[in-house]
Chain A
Amino acid sequence: MKINVTLNGKKQEWDVTPNEYLAETLRKNGCFSVKISCNDGACGTCTVLLNGKPTVSCEVLTVRADGCEIMTVEGMGEEADKIADCLVRVGGEGCGYCAPGFVVLLYAMKREMKNPTYEKVREYLNGNLCRCTGYVPRIDAALEYMKET
C-alpha cells in the first residue's frame, strides 16, 4: 500500500504492508534514533510524535500513519541539543539507548503542560523506562528543561 506522510517536515511516500509497524518503517527510512526495545508498547524507547502527540511507534501500524505528521529526534534540531545538555548537566544519561524516546517525550511534555509540578513531571515521564539512571536525575533534567525558554 502507498501512504503519504510528513516526516520531520519533509513529505514522503512509503510503500508498506498492512502488518508493518511504524518503528520498523522509520528505521528503514533512516530514522535510527527510533530504537525498538520491548516491542510491546511498554518501555517508551520508540516514542515519536504522531500529529504532535507522543506515541509508541512499535504499536502503530504504519498504514494508519497515512496523512500524518511524524517527528523523531532527527527533526527536533536545537531542541534535542537543549534536552541533551540538561541530561548531561545533572548526570541523567546512562547507556543512552532509551534517550531518544525520552527526548521526544520531554519535548512533548513542554508543549503540553505549563509549569507542571514535580509529581506531574514524574507521572508524565513514567512511560519511558530507563535501567541506568534510577530516574531521579532524569526528572531533574526534565525540570531544568522546563525552565528553559
Chain B
Amino acid sequence: MIIQNYVKPANLEEAYALLVKSKGNRLLGGGTFLKRTHLRVANAIDLSDCGLDYLKKEKDGLHIGAYTSLRKLETSEEVLTQCGNVLKDPLSHLIGVQLRNQITIGGHVAPRFGFSDIIPALMILDAKLEFYHRGEISLISYMEEEKPEKDILTEIFIPEEGRKGKMQSMRISYNDYSVFGLGVSRCKNSWIIAAGNFPGRAKCASAVMKETEGRKVTKKDAGMLSGKIAESFVYGSNYRGSAEYRKELCRVFARRAIEELADEN
C-alpha cells in the first residue's frame, strides 16, 4: 500500500466524512496487512483516537470495540467465560504475540479475510456488527453481502445466549493460518454452522441450518448431517491443501462437533 497522506481524526464523525469523501481514502486497522496490498491510498485514516479500543461485559453480552487487539481478546477472562475456547483457539494460533498485539479485531473482520478462522468462530457465536452509518447487522449477513458499502465498523457484539460451540481447524504449523476451519454451535434447537478458508471468505451451511432449525438433533444424526455439511460448500485447492482434503476435513470436523453438541437420544 502506498500512502500519500496519513490522517488521525479526533472522532468518528470526522473519520466517516473523510472516508466517504473520496474512493482513495481508506481506514487503517492494525496495519499488519498493508504490505500485502498494492493499493494507492490518498488518505489513510487512523481511528486510534476514536475510542474504539474497549472490551465490556454487559448483561446482554460482550461489547468489543473494533480497535481492540486480538491479544487483548485472547487474554480476556470475560471472553473466555462467555465464549470458551471457540474464540480463544483461533486467536491464540495467529502468528505470534507481537503481531496479535497489533492486529485489531475490526481490521480483521471488516475486510472479510478469506484465511481467517476467527470470522467463522464469531459467526457461530452469532456476533453482530455495529457500523457507524448503517447501524447493526449480523456477521452472517455481512459475510453474504456481495460488496458492502464503505462504512466504519465500530463494535462487535457477542450476545450472551448460552450458545455452546466447537471451533476446529487444521494447520500445517502451530502458529500458521489454517488450511480449513469449521465451527458449529448450538443454542437449544438452533444451530449455526460456519466454515472458512475454502480458500475464500467464511460461509454458513444455510441449508443444513434450516433443516435442523427447531428440530431435535441426536448423536445418531452426526454421520448424515456431517455429509450434508461437507456437500454444502464449494472448495478450492492451493499450496496449503487440495479441495478434496478440505472437504474431508469438513466432514470429520462436522461429525465430531455434532457428536459433542447433540443430544444423546
Q: Contact residues of A with B, CB < 8 Å?
A: 1, 18-19, 39-42, 44, 47, 50, 53-56, 59-61, 63-64, 105, 108, 123-124, 126-128
Contacts and interface: CB of A to CB of B under 8 A. Distances in A.
Interface string B22-56: 00000010011011000000001010100000000
B212 interface: no
B141 interface: no
Contacts, number: 69
B175 A18 contact: no
A124 B102 contact: no
Contacts of B48: 64
30 contacts: A18-B3, A18-B5, A19-B2, A41-B98, A41-B99, A41-B102, A42-B95, A47-B98, A53-B101, A55-B101, A56-B96, A56-B98, A59-B31, A59-B34, A59-B35, A59-B102, A60-B31, A60-B102, A61-B6, A61-B31, A61-B44, A64-B48, A105-B97, A105-B98, A126-B96, A126-B174, A126-B175, A127-B95, A127-B98, A127-B175
B96 to A, nearest CB: 1
B239 to A, nearest CB: 16
B92 A123 contact: yes
A47 B95 CA distance: 13
6 closest A-B pairs by CB: A127-B96, A18-B6, A18-B3, A56-B98, A54-B98, A53-B101
B4 interface: yes
Contacts of B34: 59, 61
B102 A44 contact: no
A137 B4 CA distance: 46
Interface of B: 2-6, 28, 31-32, 34-35, 44, 46, 48, 71, 92, 95-99, 101-102, 174-175
B5 A54 contact: no
Nearest to A19: B3
Contacts of A123: 92
Q: Which of B4, B46, B96 counts the most A-chain CB atoms under 10 A from its CB?
A: B96
Given A53-B101, A59-B99, A127-B96, A41 B6 contact: no
Given A42-B95, A53-B71, A59-B34, 10 more contacts: A18-B4, A19-B2, A42-B96, A56-B96, A56-B102, A61-B28, A61-B34, A108-B97, A127-B95, A127-B99
A103 B175 CA distance: 20
A44 B2 contact: no
B10 to A, nearest CB: 14
A44 B96 contact: yes
Nearest to A104: B98
A47 B97 CA distance: 10
Q: Which of B95, B97, B175 counts the most A-chain CB atoms under 10 A from its CB?
A: B97
Nearest to A62: B6
B52 to A, nearest CB: 15
Contacts of B97: 54, 105, 108, 124, 127
Contact of A55 (B35, B44, B92, B98): B98
Contacts of B98: 41, 44, 47, 54-56, 105, 127
A123 B46 CA distance: 30
A127 B103 CA distance: 14
Contacts of B46: 63-64
